[in-house]
Amino acid sequence: MNDRVASLAKLAAKHGDSMLAGATTVLALLENWGVSQQALARLAAEVSPERSEWQDVADLHTHPAIDLPRQIFCTGANYRKHVVDLTVDSKVGPEGMDEAQLRQWAENMLDERVAHGEPYAFTKPVSAVSGAFDPLVLPDTTTQPDWELELAVVIGRGGYRISREDALDHVAGYTIVNDISARDLIPRTDYKMLGTDWLRSKGQPGFLPLGPYFVPGAFVPDPHRLKMRLTVSGRVMQDETTADMLFGIERQIEYISRYTRLLPGDVICTGSPAGNGTHYNRFLREGDVMEAEIEGLGRQRQVCTRGGND
């Protein structure tokens, strides 16, 4: 409805759908998604865009599209150009290579990983979730807050050890996330054998703007062909498509569910394309405005403010 929304409960009551009228959250819909999507399809066929029922999103406070997810999984290093750029920028590879050789080495390494490797996933605390238009409070714990626009998969049917072939049957739909990351807090320097610290680098409050919309899978014909774009204070930083994923959604679901049980209402953040702050050596600052969009899923906007320890 072109960024116009209406109350599902009120529409359901008006059209006599008791099932939807009693669903007060998106999570409640996802808990019985098979029934919910049929009821939503019936209601959509009956609803007309009457002016009295629809409101502009800009006039409302937008909560996270899934408020709140049960579990949040993130798939890291999952976009080809992003990983190649990180390799070259960080000069991580065999000694003695020039930039062109290092880039080719990274390309070959990724071909091998896709052919014989598997996704890399970790969890992010639910308390990091915020609304798509909420301010992003930059904590004083980091000097390198960075952006990571990502397509998020919303699980509608849980499962354990889900096969790649059946994976999309477990997907309810999609939304937008921005996996904010404190780059300077990722490596553990006090004891390097610990490696990465995802809690402090990605788990701080507001570090996962989510939404504004949850879009059912029926309205996303091919989630692997979506345009993605993020700007910071008017400058285009990320401009890619989901086609650059190394491991597709089916493979990610297969991998994650091999080791843990997926639940209705879970969110899988599927990785971020090239163009993070590390590539530009430019990180978020007070007063920055981030705007992010994914084709067919809407757009986010956050104003960056400076915060303390609250």
Predicted confidence (pLDDT) per residue in 9-46, tens digit:
888 888 888 888 777 899 999 999 999 999 999 998 88
Indicate the average pLDDT of the chain.
Answer: 94
User: How far apart are alpha carbons 215 and 220 in whole angstroms?
Assistant: 8
Percent of the chain with pLDDT over 90: 85
Distance from chain centroid for Cα 119: 16
User: How far apart are alpha carbons 16 and 66 in whole angstroms?
Assistant: 25
The count of residues in the chain is 310
The structural domains of the chain, ordered by start, are 4-59 (no CATH), 72-78+119-306 (3.90.850.10), 80-117 (no CATH)
Alpha helices in 144-192 (DSSP H): none
Task: Please report the pLDDT score of residue 201 as a whole number.
Answer: 98
Band the pLDDT of 248: cuts 50, 70, 90.
very high
User: How far apart are alpha carbons 13 and 5 in whole angstroms?
Assistant: 16
Distances (CA, A) of 77 to 25, 69, 121, 148: 32, 23, 9, 11
Percent of the chain with pLDDT over 70: 98
- The mean pLDDT value for 259-268 works out to 98
User: How far apart are alpha carbons 130 and 65 in whole angstroms?
Assistant: 9
Burial label, 94 (beta-carbon count in 10 A; 0-12, 13-18, 19+): exposed
Contact 264, 258 (CB under 8 A): no
User: How far apart are alpha carbons 41 and 121 in whole angstroms?
Assistant: 34
Q: Is the pLDDT of residue 50 over 80?
A: no
Element (DSSP H or E) covering residue 105: helix 99-116
